[in-house]
Chains A and B, each alone.
Chain A
Amino acid sequence: MSPPDLGVILFTAAFGLAGIGILGIVISAHLVRIVLSIVLLETGANLLLMLSGFRFDAVAPVIVDGVVPASMVDPVPQALVLTAIVIGVAVQAFMMTLVLRLRRVYGTLDIRELRDLLERDLAREAGVGLPGSENAPVPATGSPAVARGEGSS
Protein backbone atom coordinates (compact mmCIF):
# COMPACT_ATOMS: atom_id res chain seq x y z
CA MET A 1 0.00 0.00 0.00
CA SER A 2 1.49 3.30 -1.10
CA PRO A 3 1.57 6.21 1.35
CA PRO A 4 -1.31 8.62 0.93
CA ASP A 5 -0.93 11.72 -1.18
CA LEU A 6 0.42 14.82 0.58
CA GLY A 7 -2.67 16.77 -0.40
CA VAL A 8 -4.94 14.15 1.15
CA ILE A 9 -3.05 14.32 4.45
CA LEU A 10 -3.09 18.11 4.60
CA PHE A 11 -6.74 18.49 3.60
CA THR A 12 -7.71 15.78 6.09
CA ALA A 13 -5.92 17.75 8.80
CA ALA A 14 -7.66 21.00 7.83
CA PHE A 15 -11.15 19.49 7.56
CA GLY A 16 -10.51 17.38 10.65
CA LEU A 17 -9.70 20.45 12.72
CA ALA A 18 -12.70 22.34 11.35
CA GLY A 19 -14.90 19.29 11.90
CA ILE A 20 -13.79 18.86 15.51
CA GLY A 21 -14.50 22.56 16.02
CA ILE A 22 -18.02 22.37 14.58
CA LEU A 23 -18.70 19.17 16.54
CA GLY A 24 -17.57 20.90 19.73
CA ILE A 25 -19.84 23.86 19.05
CA VAL A 26 -22.81 21.57 18.43
CA ILE A 27 -22.49 19.09 21.28
CA SER A 28 -20.86 20.94 24.18
CA ALA A 29 -23.04 22.59 26.77
CA HIS A 30 -20.37 24.70 28.43
CA LEU A 31 -19.67 28.15 26.99
CA VAL A 32 -15.88 28.02 27.50
CA ARG A 33 -15.77 24.74 25.60
CA ILE A 34 -17.74 26.37 22.79
CA VAL A 35 -15.21 29.22 22.68
CA LEU A 36 -12.37 26.68 22.48
CA SER A 37 -14.22 24.88 19.69
CA ILE A 38 -14.46 28.13 17.76
CA VAL A 39 -10.67 28.49 18.16
CA LEU A 40 -10.20 25.00 16.66
CA LEU A 41 -12.57 25.78 13.80
CA GLU A 42 -10.59 28.94 13.12
CA THR A 43 -7.34 26.97 13.00
CA GLY A 44 -8.82 24.57 10.47
CA ALA A 45 -10.06 27.43 8.32
CA ASN A 46 -6.63 29.10 8.45
CA LEU A 47 -4.90 25.87 7.44
CA LEU A 48 -7.34 25.51 4.54
CA LEU A 49 -6.52 29.06 3.40
CA MET A 50 -2.80 28.31 3.56
CA LEU A 51 -3.30 25.16 1.49
CA SER A 52 -5.05 27.13 -1.23
CA GLY A 53 -1.75 28.90 -1.96
CA PHE A 54 0.42 25.80 -1.72
CA ARG A 55 2.67 24.79 -4.61
CA PHE A 56 4.93 21.83 -5.03
CA ASP A 57 8.67 22.60 -5.37
CA ALA A 58 8.09 26.20 -4.22
CA VAL A 59 9.68 28.08 -1.34
CA ALA A 60 8.37 30.72 1.07
CA PRO A 61 7.94 34.12 -0.59
CA VAL A 62 11.04 35.64 0.96
CA ILE A 63 13.99 36.85 -1.10
CA VAL A 64 17.28 35.93 0.55
CA ASP A 65 20.48 37.78 -0.47
CA GLY A 66 18.83 39.32 -3.50
CA VAL A 67 18.25 35.97 -5.22
CA VAL A 68 14.67 35.65 -6.44
CA PRO A 69 13.64 31.97 -6.22
CA ALA A 70 12.29 30.39 -9.38
CA SER A 71 9.01 29.36 -7.75
CA MET A 72 7.39 30.87 -4.66
CA VAL A 73 4.11 30.02 -2.96
CA ASP A 74 1.18 32.40 -3.25
CA PRO A 75 1.76 35.27 -0.76
CA VAL A 76 -1.86 36.48 -0.70
CA PRO A 77 -3.34 33.64 1.43
CA GLN A 78 -0.38 33.95 3.78
CA ALA A 79 -1.10 37.65 4.28
CA LEU A 80 -4.79 36.85 4.82
CA VAL A 81 -4.03 34.18 7.44
CA LEU A 82 -1.53 36.48 9.14
CA THR A 83 -4.23 39.03 9.76
CA ALA A 84 -6.92 36.42 10.45
CA ILE A 85 -4.90 34.95 13.34
CA VAL A 86 -4.55 38.31 15.08
CA ILE A 87 -8.20 39.18 14.55
CA GLY A 88 -9.02 35.73 15.91
CA VAL A 89 -7.10 36.40 19.12
CA ALA A 90 -8.85 39.73 19.62
CA VAL A 91 -12.27 38.20 19.02
CA GLN A 92 -11.47 35.32 21.38
CA ALA A 93 -10.55 37.83 24.08
CA PHE A 94 -13.86 39.61 23.45
CA MET A 95 -15.74 36.31 23.64
CA MET A 96 -14.08 35.60 26.98
CA THR A 97 -15.17 39.00 28.32
CA LEU A 98 -18.74 38.16 27.29
CA VAL A 99 -18.43 34.78 29.01
CA LEU A 100 -17.09 36.50 32.14
CA ARG A 101 -20.03 38.86 32.15
CA LEU A 102 -22.55 36.07 31.69
CA ARG A 103 -20.93 34.19 34.56
CA ARG A 104 -21.14 37.30 36.70
CA VAL A 105 -24.79 37.99 35.93
CA TYR A 106 -26.25 34.47 35.86
CA GLY A 107 -23.73 32.46 37.84
CA THR A 108 -23.66 29.62 35.33
CA LEU A 109 -22.09 28.86 31.97
CA ASP A 110 -24.27 25.88 31.03
CA ILE A 111 -26.09 26.88 27.87
CA ARG A 112 -29.28 25.04 28.79
CA GLU A 113 -29.57 26.82 32.12
CA LEU A 114 -28.54 30.09 30.48
CA ARG A 115 -31.23 29.68 27.83
CA ASP A 116 -33.95 29.25 30.46
CA LEU A 117 -32.67 32.22 32.48
CA LEU A 118 -32.36 34.45 29.42
CA GLU A 119 -35.82 33.46 28.23
CA ARG A 120 -37.25 34.29 31.64
CA ASP A 121 -35.57 37.70 31.69
CA LEU A 122 -36.55 38.50 28.11
CA ALA A 123 -40.16 37.59 28.84
CA ARG A 124 -40.11 39.80 31.94
CA GLU A 125 -38.60 42.72 30.02
CA ALA A 126 -41.11 42.38 27.21
CA GLY A 127 -43.99 41.95 29.65
CA VAL A 128 -45.22 38.69 28.20
CA GLY A 129 -45.63 35.24 29.65
CA LEU A 130 -43.17 32.48 29.03
CA PRO A 131 -43.99 30.62 25.86
CA GLY A 132 -45.62 27.40 27.01
CA SER A 133 -45.40 24.12 25.22
CA GLU A 134 -48.56 22.80 23.56
CA ASN A 135 -47.94 19.50 25.26
CA ALA A 136 -47.53 21.03 28.69
CA PRO A 137 -50.02 19.70 31.23
CA VAL A 138 -52.93 22.06 31.76
CA PRO A 139 -52.96 23.41 35.35
CA ALA A 140 -55.72 21.93 37.45
CA THR A 141 -57.16 25.34 38.40
CA GLY A 142 -58.01 27.78 35.65
CA SER A 143 -57.36 27.71 31.92
CA PRO A 144 -53.88 27.83 30.34
CA ALA A 145 -54.50 31.46 29.33
CA VAL A 146 -54.90 32.47 32.97
CA ALA A 147 -51.77 30.58 33.87
CA ARG A 148 -49.86 32.51 31.20
CA GLY A 149 -51.33 35.79 32.40
CA GLU A 150 -49.93 35.14 35.83
CA GLY A 151 -46.48 34.74 34.37
CA SER A 152 -46.47 38.28 33.01
CA SER A 153 -47.38 40.06 36.22
Chain B
Amino acid sequence: MRNALSLLFIAGLAFLLFVITAGLDFGAAPMLVGQGINQASPGQVGAANIVTSVVLGYRALDTLGELAILFAAATAGGLMLGRPRADARHDPEAGFILLAAADLLFPLLLVVGLFIIVHGHLTPGGGFQGGVILAAAFFLPLLARPGTHFNHPGFAVVEGLAGAAFIVIGLLGLARGGEFLMPLLGQGAMGSLLSAGTLPLLYIAVGLKVGTELAGLMAHIAEYEAVDP
Protein backbone atom coordinates (compact mmCIF):
# COMPACT_ATOMS: atom_id res chain seq x y z
CA MET B 1 0.00 0.00 0.00
CA ARG B 2 2.73 2.44 1.01
CA ASN B 3 4.78 1.52 -2.03
CA ALA B 4 1.83 2.01 -4.35
CA LEU B 5 1.12 5.43 -2.83
CA SER B 6 4.79 6.39 -3.24
CA LEU B 7 4.71 5.28 -6.86
CA LEU B 8 1.61 7.38 -7.46
CA PHE B 9 3.28 10.38 -5.81
CA ILE B 10 6.44 10.05 -7.91
CA ALA B 11 4.42 9.63 -11.10
CA GLY B 12 2.45 12.77 -10.27
CA LEU B 13 5.64 14.70 -9.48
CA ALA B 14 7.30 13.60 -12.72
CA PHE B 15 4.18 14.50 -14.70
CA LEU B 16 4.02 17.93 -13.06
CA LEU B 17 7.69 18.66 -13.83
CA PHE B 18 7.21 17.35 -17.35
CA VAL B 19 4.25 19.64 -17.98
CA ILE B 20 6.25 22.61 -16.69
CA THR B 21 9.22 21.85 -18.95
CA ALA B 22 6.94 21.16 -21.91
CA GLY B 23 6.12 24.85 -21.87
CA LEU B 24 9.77 25.80 -22.26
CA ASP B 25 11.51 26.20 -25.59
CA PHE B 26 13.69 23.11 -25.84
CA GLY B 27 16.91 23.62 -27.77
CA ALA B 28 16.70 27.40 -27.70
CA ALA B 29 18.22 28.22 -24.33
CA PRO B 30 16.97 31.58 -23.13
CA MET B 31 20.15 32.23 -21.16
CA LEU B 32 22.22 35.08 -22.55
CA VAL B 33 25.22 34.56 -20.26
CA GLY B 34 26.35 31.47 -22.15
CA GLN B 35 26.13 33.20 -25.50
CA GLY B 36 28.05 36.18 -24.16
CA ILE B 37 30.76 33.94 -22.73
CA ASN B 38 30.99 31.97 -25.98
CA GLN B 39 31.64 35.20 -27.86
CA ALA B 40 33.90 36.94 -25.35
CA SER B 41 35.92 34.03 -23.95
CA PRO B 42 38.29 33.34 -26.92
CA GLY B 43 39.48 36.93 -26.84
CA GLN B 44 39.42 37.43 -23.07
CA VAL B 45 40.85 34.17 -21.72
CA GLY B 46 42.34 32.42 -24.73
CA ALA B 47 41.44 28.86 -23.72
CA ALA B 48 40.32 26.61 -26.57
CA ASN B 49 37.98 24.78 -24.18
CA ILE B 50 35.42 27.39 -23.19
CA VAL B 51 34.12 25.29 -20.30
CA THR B 52 37.59 25.61 -18.76
CA SER B 53 37.51 29.37 -19.13
CA VAL B 54 34.19 29.33 -17.25
CA VAL B 55 35.41 26.97 -14.51
CA LEU B 56 38.78 28.66 -13.92
CA GLY B 57 38.18 32.14 -15.34
CA TYR B 58 34.70 33.51 -14.89
CA ARG B 59 33.70 31.23 -12.02
CA ALA B 60 37.12 30.52 -10.48
CA LEU B 61 36.05 31.63 -7.01
CA ASP B 62 33.24 29.09 -7.17
CA THR B 63 35.76 26.39 -8.05
CA LEU B 64 37.78 27.34 -4.98
CA GLY B 65 34.62 26.96 -2.92
CA GLU B 66 34.07 23.54 -4.42
CA LEU B 67 37.60 22.47 -3.53
CA ALA B 68 36.74 23.57 0.00
CA ILE B 69 33.68 21.28 -0.06
CA LEU B 70 35.86 18.37 -1.24
CA PHE B 71 38.29 19.10 1.56
CA ALA B 72 35.46 19.28 4.09
CA ALA B 73 34.03 15.95 2.92
CA ALA B 74 37.45 14.26 3.12
CA THR B 75 38.11 15.73 6.58
CA ALA B 76 34.70 14.66 7.84
CA GLY B 77 35.30 11.16 6.50
CA GLY B 78 38.61 11.08 8.33
CA LEU B 79 36.97 12.22 11.55
CA MET B 80 34.21 9.61 11.32
CA LEU B 81 36.59 6.70 10.84
CA GLY B 82 39.28 7.32 13.40
CA ARG B 83 41.14 4.06 13.98
CA PRO B 84 43.14 1.83 11.62
CA ARG B 85 41.44 -1.50 11.25
CA ALA B 86 43.46 -4.09 13.16
CA ASP B 87 42.78 -6.83 10.63
CA ALA B 88 43.47 -4.60 7.59
CA ARG B 89 46.92 -6.19 7.23
CA HIS B 90 45.39 -9.62 6.85
CA ASP B 91 42.85 -8.79 4.14
CA PRO B 92 43.24 -11.46 1.46
CA GLU B 93 44.73 -10.54 -1.90
CA ALA B 94 42.39 -10.27 -4.85
CA GLY B 95 42.21 -12.87 -7.59
CA PHE B 96 44.55 -13.18 -10.53
CA ILE B 97 42.43 -11.04 -12.87
CA LEU B 98 42.26 -8.03 -10.56
CA LEU B 99 45.96 -8.35 -9.64
CA ALA B 100 47.04 -8.45 -13.29
CA ALA B 101 44.63 -5.66 -14.25
CA ALA B 102 45.87 -3.44 -11.42
CA ASP B 103 49.51 -3.85 -12.49
CA LEU B 104 48.59 -3.24 -16.11
CA LEU B 105 46.24 -0.31 -15.56
CA PHE B 106 48.22 1.64 -12.94
CA PRO B 107 50.74 3.28 -15.34
CA LEU B 108 48.09 3.63 -18.04
CA LEU B 109 45.63 5.39 -15.75
CA LEU B 110 48.43 7.61 -14.42
CA VAL B 111 49.40 8.74 -17.92
CA VAL B 112 45.80 9.21 -19.07
CA GLY B 113 44.93 11.16 -15.93
CA LEU B 114 47.92 13.48 -16.24
CA PHE B 115 47.26 13.94 -19.97
CA ILE B 116 43.65 14.94 -19.33
CA ILE B 117 44.71 17.33 -16.56
CA VAL B 118 47.44 19.03 -18.62
CA HIS B 119 45.24 19.37 -21.72
CA GLY B 120 42.26 20.66 -19.77
CA HIS B 121 42.36 24.05 -21.46
CA LEU B 122 42.55 22.57 -24.98
CA THR B 123 40.25 19.55 -25.12
CA PRO B 124 37.26 18.31 -23.14
CA GLY B 125 38.55 17.25 -19.75
CA GLY B 126 40.54 18.98 -17.08
CA GLY B 127 41.59 18.85 -13.49
CA PHE B 128 38.44 17.32 -12.06
CA GLN B 129 38.08 14.52 -14.60
CA GLY B 130 41.80 13.78 -14.69
CA GLY B 131 41.99 13.97 -10.92
CA VAL B 132 39.31 11.29 -10.55
CA ILE B 133 41.25 9.07 -12.99
CA LEU B 134 44.41 9.62 -10.92
CA ALA B 135 42.49 8.64 -7.79
CA ALA B 136 41.30 5.47 -9.50
CA ALA B 137 44.90 4.73 -10.52
CA PHE B 138 46.06 4.87 -6.91
CA PHE B 139 43.05 3.08 -5.52
CA LEU B 140 43.16 0.11 -7.90
CA PRO B 141 46.40 -1.40 -6.45
CA LEU B 142 44.87 -1.03 -3.00
CA LEU B 143 41.83 -3.03 -4.13
CA ALA B 144 44.10 -5.73 -5.54
CA ARG B 145 46.43 -5.89 -2.52
CA PRO B 146 44.53 -4.69 0.54
CA GLY B 147 47.36 -5.71 2.87
CA THR B 148 49.86 -3.13 1.58
CA HIS B 149 49.84 0.15 3.40
CA PHE B 150 48.67 3.23 1.55
CA ASN B 151 50.98 6.24 1.80
CA HIS B 152 48.75 8.76 3.58
CA PRO B 153 51.34 11.39 4.68
CA GLY B 154 52.81 12.00 1.22
CA PHE B 155 49.34 12.36 -0.22
CA ALA B 156 48.34 14.85 2.45
CA VAL B 157 51.43 16.97 1.65
CA VAL B 158 50.70 17.00 -2.10
CA GLU B 159 47.06 17.78 -1.39
CA GLY B 160 47.91 20.71 0.87
CA LEU B 161 50.52 22.12 -1.52
CA ALA B 162 48.09 21.88 -4.47
CA GLY B 163 45.37 23.69 -2.55
CA ALA B 164 47.84 26.34 -1.41
CA ALA B 165 49.11 26.74 -5.01
CA PHE B 166 45.57 27.47 -6.21
CA ILE B 167 45.16 30.22 -3.61
CA VAL B 168 48.67 31.62 -4.22
CA ILE B 169 47.98 31.90 -7.97
CA GLY B 170 44.73 33.65 -7.10
CA LEU B 171 46.53 36.06 -4.78
CA LEU B 172 49.14 36.75 -7.48
CA GLY B 173 46.27 37.67 -9.77
CA LEU B 174 44.97 39.99 -7.05
CA ALA B 175 48.38 41.65 -6.71
CA ARG B 176 49.20 41.96 -10.40
CA GLY B 177 45.89 42.22 -12.19
CA GLY B 178 43.64 43.70 -9.55
CA GLU B 179 41.22 40.78 -9.20
CA PHE B 180 41.40 37.52 -7.28
CA LEU B 181 42.21 34.52 -9.54
CA MET B 182 42.61 36.75 -12.59
CA PRO B 183 44.42 34.91 -15.43
CA LEU B 184 48.00 36.17 -15.82
CA LEU B 185 51.05 35.41 -17.98
CA GLY B 186 49.45 36.38 -21.29
CA GLN B 187 47.21 34.26 -23.48
CA GLY B 188 49.73 32.75 -25.90
CA ALA B 189 48.67 31.10 -29.12
CA MET B 190 45.28 29.47 -28.74
CA GLY B 191 45.45 25.72 -29.11
CA SER B 192 49.07 25.33 -27.99
CA LEU B 193 49.94 23.60 -24.73
CA LEU B 194 51.37 26.79 -23.19
CA SER B 195 48.42 29.10 -23.61
CA ALA B 196 45.57 30.63 -21.65
CA GLY B 197 47.87 32.13 -19.01
CA THR B 198 47.61 30.62 -15.53
CA LEU B 199 44.64 28.37 -16.35
CA PRO B 200 46.74 25.21 -16.98
CA LEU B 201 48.61 25.81 -13.71
CA LEU B 202 45.32 26.16 -11.84
CA TYR B 203 44.00 22.97 -13.45
CA ILE B 204 47.16 21.05 -12.51
CA ALA B 205 46.66 22.18 -8.91
CA VAL B 206 42.99 21.15 -9.05
CA GLY B 207 43.86 17.79 -10.60
CA LEU B 208 46.49 16.94 -7.99
CA LYS B 209 44.19 18.04 -5.18
CA VAL B 210 41.17 16.09 -6.43
CA GLY B 211 43.26 13.00 -7.16
CA THR B 212 45.03 12.85 -3.82
CA GLU B 213 41.90 13.84 -1.91
CA LEU B 214 39.66 11.15 -3.40
CA ALA B 215 42.37 8.48 -3.28
CA GLY B 216 43.07 9.31 0.36
CA LEU B 217 39.37 9.30 1.23
CA MET B 218 38.73 5.94 -0.44
CA ALA B 219 41.84 4.39 1.10
CA HIS B 220 40.71 5.74 4.47
CA ILE B 221 37.32 4.06 4.09
CA ALA B 222 39.04 0.80 3.15
CA GLU B 223 41.68 0.79 5.90
CA TYR B 224 40.07 2.53 8.86
CA GLU B 225 37.09 1.77 11.03
CA ALA B 226 34.81 3.70 13.30
CA VAL B 227 35.76 4.02 16.95
CA ASP B 228 33.19 2.75 19.42
CA PRO B 229 31.45 5.66 21.11
Task: Return the CB mask of A71-82 against B: 1 if under 8 Å, else 0.
Answer: 011111111001
- Measured between beta carbons, the chain B residues less than 8 angstroms from A78 are 51, 54
Whether A105 pairs with B229 at a CB distance below 8 angstroms is yes
* C-alpha gap A83/B62 in the complex (Å): 9
Whether B27 pairs with A60 at a CB distance below 8 angstroms is no
- Measured between beta carbons, the chain B residues less than 8 angstroms from A12 are 18
Q: A62-B50, A105-B226 are in contact. Are A100 and B28 (CB under 8 A)?
A: no
* C-alpha gap A96/B73 in the complex (Å): 11
Determine whether B42 belongs to the interface, using a CB cutoff of 8 Å to chain A: yes
- Measured between beta carbons, the chain B residues less than 8 angstroms from A72 are 38, 50
A56, chain B: closest CB distance, angstroms: 4
* Segment from A18-26, A112-120, A126-134, A138-146 that makes contact with B: A18-26
Determine whether A66 belongs to the interface, using a CB cutoff of 8 Å to chain B: yes
- Measured between beta carbons, the chain A residues less than 8 angstroms from B7 are 23
Task: Return the CB mask of A7-23 against B: 1 if under 8 Å, else 0.
Answer: 10001100110110011
- Measured between beta carbons, the chain A residues less than 8 angstroms from B191 are 63-66
Determine whether B98 belongs to the interface, using a CB cutoff of 8 Å to chain A: no
B221, chain A: closest CB distance, angstroms: 6
* C-alpha gap A97/B72 in the complex (Å): 13
- Measured between beta carbons, the chain B residues less than 8 angstroms from A11 are 18, 21-22, 26
Query: How many A residues have CB within 8 A of the partner chain?
Result: 52
* C-alpha gap A56/B190 in the complex (Å): 27
B229, chain A: closest CB distance, angstroms: 6
- Measured between beta carbons, the chain B residues less than 8 angstroms from A94 are 73, 76-77, 80
* Chain A residue with the shortest CB-CB distance to B63: A83
Determine whether B102 belongs to the interface, using a CB cutoff of 8 Å to chain A: no
Interface positions, chain B 178-194, Cβ under 8 Å from A, are 190-191
B103, chain A: closest CB distance, angstroms: 25
Task: Name the contact of B69 in the complex, choosing from A18, A26, A60, A90 (C-beta under 8 A).
Answer: A90
- Measured between beta carbons, the chain A residues less than 8 angstroms from B31 are 52-53, 74, 76
- Measured between beta carbons, the chain A residues less than 8 angstroms from B221 are 93, 96-97, 100
Q: A19-B10, A97-B221 are in contact. Are A83 and B77 (CB under 8 A)?
A: no
* C-alpha gap A60/B124 in the complex (Å): 9
Q: A residues engaging B (CB < 8 A)?
A: 5-7, 11-12, 15-16, 18-19, 22-23, 26-27, 51-56, 60-66, 68, 72-79, 82-83, 85-87, 89-91, 93-94, 96-98, 100-101, 104-105
User: 5 pairs across A/B with beta carbons < 8 Å?
Assistant: A15-B14, A62-B124, A76-B33, A86-B70, A100-B226
Q: B residues engaging A (CB < 8 A)?
A: 2-3, 6-7, 9-11, 13-14, 17-18, 21-22, 26-29, 31, 33-35, 37-38, 41-42, 48-51, 53-55, 59, 62-63, 66, 69-70, 73-74, 76-77, 80-81, 123-124, 126, 128-129, 131-132, 190-191, 210, 213-214, 217-218, 220-221, 225-226, 228-229
